[in-house]
Amino acid sequence: MTGLLQAPRANSAAGAPGPPAPPPRPPLTERLRTPALYVLSLSAAFGIAAILVAVVGKSPKDAAVAMFDGSLGSGAALGQSVDQAAPLLLVAVGSVIAARAGIFNIGQEGQVVIGAALGAGVGLFMPGPGWFVLPMILLCAALGGALWAGVAALLHYWRGVDVVISTLLLIFVANQVVSFAVNRDYLLRETAVPGQTTTSQSDMLRESVWLPRFGEFPGFNIGAGIFLAVVLAVAVYFALTRTRWGFRIRLLGLNARTAHRAGVGAVVVGGGALLASGAFAGAAGGVMLTGSGYRMQDGFAGNVGFDGLLVALVAKDNPLHAVPVAFFFGALRAGGGFLAATGIPRYIVAVVTALLVLAVVFPTAVAEIRRRVPARTKEA
Amino acid sequence: MIDESSVVLASAVRLTVPLAFAACGEYIAERAGTINISVEAMMLGGAFSAVLGATVTGSAATGLLFGMAAGLLVGFVHAQFSHRLGVNTYVVGLVLSALVLGLTSFLLDSVDLDKNQQVGAVDIPFLSDLPLLGPVLFSHRWPVYLLVALVPFVWWLVQRSRFGLELRAAGENPRSADVTGIDVRKRRRQALLICGLLSGLGGAYLAVGEVGMFNQNMTAGRGFVVIAAVIFGGWTLRGTLTGCLVFGAADAMRLALPALGLQLNAQLLIAAPYVLALLAMMFFAKSHRAPGALGRPFVRGTV
């Protein structure tokens, strides 16, 4: 505490011209405080989850073992975790683009389903060889996501509607749009087979437009989606840090007024970032469609939009950091499926996920507060 | 015909009440300058907690208190993270919504809840016998009448009390408020606590008043509709309550139309309140009546 308080005073007292002396290295206890806080709050998150499981009379150890078996314990489980990570990463990378531009898009859940629905339409009705139709599905899925984010962009830049609220409300509308489509014969509802009743889902995509899977080892194989997602994450990282477009986005996000004076249009750059984030969410829907489910149905998104958003939060808006975080969250999702066998409701995974996010933002926030203390004392 | 329409209107009032409780809270939060997107979490937590409380104590009225406590707890966590630790308020709201949804779903699968705990209905003598108006306005479960007392109080609190003045100052111009000696972040934390209390009550009424049990994700986005109602109402209490009534009526229509033999598209009807909310914001969001610092965090010493 005292170390932090003294640093700025020492500098101003010197008052010497030339480059200011580098601030003295804080003592070891100061430097260890943040990592220690991380360890503490992460353990607290897992501790709370364990207590919850114990409170309802189940064994936390069984839960941990099941989570491990379902996510990393076998080749098949590992493949599951990787497959779960792919759409999460895509959603997260999109969220990063918007967040860097200072826009908080939280409607990915809706953008995912609209993208997937448009992709399903293309996949079911467009003739042609798989090598042509599959990219078209993914492209149209991205387009669908961008379109849905575009509604929010339009409302924001035309009428000043808060993006957070509009993207949120659009999720509910998107779910009904898709529900409408899979309940209409002339849209996406599955073709009636004589003697069978149709349900609220689309036909299955033909096998030639499925995403290829790699690795024929017994049990372990992963879909191509993860490669697409990782390549795009790296590409977005470089686009954001090394290109003029990325610079404009960051400028807008850091200081909208400066950006305006520098000729960075909030509508074009900001709106573009919002559309791009929607496109990534839509692409995630496309990957889910062609990578694992192969058909559209009610409840398609399964919280991928929200979880992907949390990945971006934990990765602190860095697309490269989002890669390992997405794997971790993918493993949590995959492990959750195994909980059913132990009789522990799988919703504990949602609790753990949310607690982890709080655990990650907590130390940053505390560090931020501590950083602010000297400034405040100086003011007074 | 008059019976049918009074049934629909009464159900519109019933569906408005949970929204209105929460909207009074959200109105206070937004006047203090903070868009609180954890209303959904507060309502859902309140709903679950109310049924849990009613199961444990055997009294639905105590359940309401439990619900308020749960909302207060969510509000407290939100306030501490966003207006003490300085975490982005949307992030906190989002995470809390996910947390409460996960938590209530988890506990619902693990705890046995009483399936039939409802607070009692009170017919106001004489008035409830009026044709049409009687069943619509004067024959409800008792928390509905609590709302009638709450609304003037909220108006007085925000518009006429010193606390409300400081609250509004924190929402309109936090820097000036700060210079005047008002603790902006503290006022915002307090606004969030009140919001939690009232939203928890709204969720609790939904569970132990209207439905009589707890279902997974039973608020189903009502918290977000509440936020839209405040915007729809142009940040006035009167407008906010009108907004709630509009959304409540849309909800009632969705439930009533099939029963009345009108064939309307189910998906369209479910989406209608949300589309309505979006349209409302489209027309009202640019209004200058919005609190000046709405949604912007306050950090002393920055612009």
Which residues on chain B are in Cβ contact (under 8 Å) with A169? 224, 228, 274, 277-278
3-state SS of chain B: helix, strand, coil percent to 5? 70, 0, 25
Question: Do B285 and A164 count as a contact with CB atoms less than 8 A apart?
Answer: no
pTM for this one?
0.87
Residue of chain B whose alpha carbon sits nearest to that of A345: B106
Which parts of chain B have pLDDT scores under 50?
A: none
Q: How far is B255 from chain A (nearest CA, A)?
A: 16
What was the pLDDT predicted at A2? 44
Residue of chain B whose alpha carbon sits nearest to that of A355: B99
Which tens digit of pLDDT belongs to each residue from A76-105?
888 889 999 999 999 999 999 999 999 999
Chain A CB within 8 Å of residue B287 CB? no
Which residues on chain B are in Cβ contact (under 8 Å) with A362? 81, 85
Which residues on chain B are in Cβ contact (under 8 Å) with A348? 102, 106
Nearest-CB residue to B274 (from A155, A172, A376): A172
What was the pLDDT predicted at A380? 44
Interface test with A, best of B52, B106, B108, B288 (most A CBs within 10 A): B106
Mean pLDDT of A305-324: 92
Question: Do A306 and B98 count as a contact with CB atoms less than 8 A apart?
Answer: yes
Nearest-CB residue to B109 (from A166, A170, A345): A345
Q: How far is A363 from chain B (nearest CA, A)?
A: 9
- Supply the DSSP symbol for A188: T
Interface test with B, best of A344, A351, A366 (most B CBs within 10 A): A351
What was the pLDDT predicted at A375? 55
Question: Do A106 and B102 count as a contact with CB atoms less than 8 A apart?
Answer: no
Which is it for the CA torsion A103, A271, A226, A237, positive or negative?
A: negative
Question: Do A362 and B295 count as a contact with CB atoms less than 8 A apart?
Answer: no
Q: How far is A374 from chain B (nearest CA, A)?
A: 12
Which tens digit of pLDDT belongs to each residue from A217-247?
667 788 889 999 999 999 999 999 999 999 9
Q: Could you tell me the pLDDT band of residue A270, with boundaries at 50, 70 and 90?
A: very high
Which residues on chain B are in Cβ contact (under 8 Å) with A310? 94-95, 98
CA distance B47 to B215: 9
What was the pLDDT predicted at A3? 44
Q: What percent of chain A has pLDDT over 90?
A: 42
Question: Are A159 and B253 spatial neighbours (Cβ–Cβ below 8 Å)?
Answer: no
Which residues on chain B are in Cβ contact (under 8 Å) with A179? 267, 270
CA distance B48 to B23: 19
Mean pLDDT of A295-314: 89
Nearest-CB residue to A365 (from B87, B101, B300): B87
Question: Are A196 and A204 spatial neighbours (Cβ–Cβ below 8 Å)?
Answer: no
What was the pLDDT predicted at A12? 45
Question: Do B271 and A177 count as a contact with CB atoms less than 8 A apart?
Answer: yes
| Complex confidence, ipTM | 0.86
CA distance B99 to A359: 12
Q: Could you tell me the pLDDT band of residue A293, with boundaries at 50, 70 and 90?
A: confident
Question: Do B300 and A358 count as a contact with CB atoms less than 8 A apart?
Answer: no
What was the pLDDT predicted at A183? 85
> Which H or E element spans position A222?
strand A222-223
What was the pLDDT predicted at A10? 44
Question: Are B25 and B191 spatial neighbours (Cβ–Cβ below 8 Å)?
Answer: no
Q: How far is A219 from chain B (nearest CA, A)?
A: 31
What was the pLDDT predicted at B196? 96
Output the DSSP codes for B124-181: PTTGGGSTTHHHHHSEEETHHHHHHHHHHHHHHHHHTSHHHHHHHHHHH-HHHHHHHT
Specify the amino acid at residue A106: I
> For residue B16, how many other CB atoms are within 10 A of its CB?
25
CB neighbour list of residue A187: distance below 8 Å, 6 or more residues apart: A121, A180, A181
Q: How far is A169 from chain B (nearest CA, A)?
A: 6
Which tens digit of pLDDT belongs to each residue from A152-202?
999 999 988 889 889 988 999 999 999 999 888 788 887 777 777 777 888
Q: Could you tell me the pLDDT band of residue A6, with boundaries at 50, 70 and 90?
A: very low
CA distance B65 to B46: 9
Question: Are B252 and B6 spatial neighbours (Cβ–Cβ below 8 Å)?
Answer: no
Question: Do A161 and B295 count as a contact with CB atoms less than 8 A apart?
Answer: no
Interface test with B, best of A58, A151, A304, A361 (most B CBs within 10 A): A361
Interface test with B, best of A161, A307, A333 (most B CBs within 10 A): A161
Nearest-CB residue to A160 (from B227, B271, B285): B285
What was the pLDDT predicted at A4? 45
Output the DSSP codes for A309-363: HHHHHHTTT-HHHHHHHHHHHHHHHHHHHHHGGGT--TTHHHHHHHHHHHHHHHH
Q: How far is CA B81 from CA A309, A365, B51, B78, B238, in A?
A: 18, 8, 28, 5, 31
Q: Could you tell me the pLDDT band of residue A5, with boundaries at 50, 70 and 90?
A: very low
Q: Is the pLDDT of residue A124 over 70?
A: yes
Q: How far is B99 from chain A (nearest CA, A)?
A: 5
Interface of B with A in 126-185 (CB under 8 A): none
Domain boundaries, chain B: 1-121+131-219
Which tens digit of pLDDT belongs to each residue from B247-282?
888 888 877 777 766 667 778 878 888 888 888 888
Which residues on chain A are in Cβ contact (under 8 Å) with B301? 375-376, 379
What was the pLDDT predicted at A217? 67
CB neighbour list of residue B255: distance below 8 Å, 6 or more residues apart: B11
